[in-house]
Amino acid sequence: MAICNVCKIEILEGDETIWTGSRVVHQRCSENLTDDIESLIPPTPEEIERAELKENSAGSVITDIDLPWTRVFWVSFQFLVVGLVLVIPVWIFFMIIFL
Mean pLDDT per 10-residue interval, the chain, length 99 residues? 73 71 69 57 76 77 87 96 94 90
3-state helix, strand, coil in the chain (%, to 5): 50, 10, 35
pTM: 0.34
pLDDT at position 35 is 54
Each domain of the chain, given as residue ranges in start order, spans 2-44, 69-99
- Distance separating alpha carbons of residues 34 and 32, to the nearest angstrom: 7
pLDDT at position 90 is 93
